């Protein structure tokens, strides 16, 4: 593998051009291909009604609760990542289906209400920002879209308070201590944004909680005192060393 700067710049440009082409072609391809359920793959809808029921997305959504990550006061999610919710989240992110953020965001309403109650009142939704390289590849920020759908439906305030300070490797390959080290100071609060009193962090998947912990740390350092978290799906932690 070469590290020649000119070559690397060229491959980066080629990758950007390809991503741009894929984005431009996506609406045409979507018209040609039959719509399939993002969870079970059956033809006909973005998420079929059976999956919406089964995954706890129908109505205001199902809620599961557990201990909040360090530095957070409350946490809730819709259901387990293993199964249909995970399929839907992966379809949204990796199969270029940003429209799936709408039903997933709607399904988060009950989880958000439960966390709001525990925090003591209305709270502002703050999406966990996607890594800039992944954002550039996909062309959309999935957590921001999910949070926006939930905020519109509830309704409640949403402010993209956080930004990433650097790129990080995929966390699921790392042990617990390594995850903490990698996530240290990875988030910063945007300059010039007024900090709300109560904040609920929103993400697609909650695995070790290291991402939420790091984001909450940045908010606390900026002066925010009451922080809760919600995720679409909770993933059982395999690598917890
Ligand atoms: Zn389905």
Interval 84-109: pLDDT, tens: 999 999 999 999 899 999 999 999 99
Distance of alpha carbon 209 from alpha carbon 231, whole angstroms:
10
Q: Is the peptide bond before 207 cis (omega within 30 degrees of 0)?
A: no
The total number of structural domains in the chain stands at 1
Q: What is the pLDDT of residue 28?
A: 64
Is residue 52 in some structural domain? no
CA of 135 to the centre of ligand 1 (A): 27
Q: How many CB atoms lie within 10 A of CB 51?
A: 23
Closest CA to 119 of 218, 222, 23, 216: 216
Does residue 177 lie within any of the structural domains? yes
**Residue 37 placed within a domain:** no
For residue 161, give the CATH number of its domain. 3.40.50
Mean pLDDT lowest among 148-152, 160-164, 211-215, 236-240: 236-240
How far is residue 74's CA from residue 224's CA, in Å, rounded to a whole number? Answer: 15
Buried b (16+ CB within 10 A) or exposed e, 145-165: bbbbbbbebbebebbbbbebe
**134 part of a folded domain:** yes
The pLDDT, as a whole number, for residue 32 is 66
19 domain residue, yes or no:
no
Whole-number Å distance, alpha carbon 3 to ligand 1 midpoint, is 45
Q: How far apart are CA 28 and CA 135, in angstroms?
A: 22
Q: What is the pTM of this model?
A: 0.85
Ligand 1 mean position to 142 CA, how many Å? Answer: 20
Domain residue limits at 77: 60-234
**Residue 116 is assigned to a structural domain of this protein:** yes
Question: Would you place residue 240 in the very low, low, confident or very high pLDDT band (cuts 50, 70, 90)?
Answer: very low
Q: Is residue 162 part of a domain?
A: yes
Closest residue by Cα to residue 156 from 117, 191, 128, 130:
117
Distance 150 CA to ligand 1 centre (A): 21
What's the gap in Å between 52 CA and the centre of ligand 1? Answer: 7
In a domain, 7, yes or no: no
d(CA 14, CA 128): 28
């Amino acid at each position: 593998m070469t590290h020649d700067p000119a070559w690397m710049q060229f491959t980066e440009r080629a990758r950007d051009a390809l991503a741009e082409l894929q984005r431009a072609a996506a609406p045409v391809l979507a018209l040609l291909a039959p719509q399939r359920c993002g969870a079970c793959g059956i033809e006909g809808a973005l998420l079929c009604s059976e999956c919406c029921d089964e995954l706890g997305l129908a109505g205001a959504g199902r809620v599961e609760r557990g201990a909040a990550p360090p530095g957070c006061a409350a946490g809730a999610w819709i259901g387990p990542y293993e199964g249909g919710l995970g399929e839907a989240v992966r379809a949204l992110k990796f199969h270029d289906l940003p429209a799936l953020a709408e039903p997933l965001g709607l399904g988060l309403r009950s989880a958000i209400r439960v966390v709001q109650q525990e925090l003591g009142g209305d709270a502002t939704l703050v999406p966990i920002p996607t890594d800039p390289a992944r954002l550039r590849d996909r062309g959309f920020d999935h957590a921001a879209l999910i949070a926006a759908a939930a905020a519109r439906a509830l309704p409640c305030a949403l402010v993209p308070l956080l930004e990433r300070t650097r790129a990080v490797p995929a966390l699921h390959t790392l042990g617990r201590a390594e995850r903490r080290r990698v996530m240290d100071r990875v988030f910063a609060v945007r300059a010039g944004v007024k900090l709300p009193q109560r904040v609920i962090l929103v993400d697609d998947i909650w695995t070790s909680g290291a991402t939420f912990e790091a984001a909450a740390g940045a908010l606390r350092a900026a002066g925010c005192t009451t922080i809760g978290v919600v995720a679409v799906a909770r993933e059982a932690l395999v690598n917890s060393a």
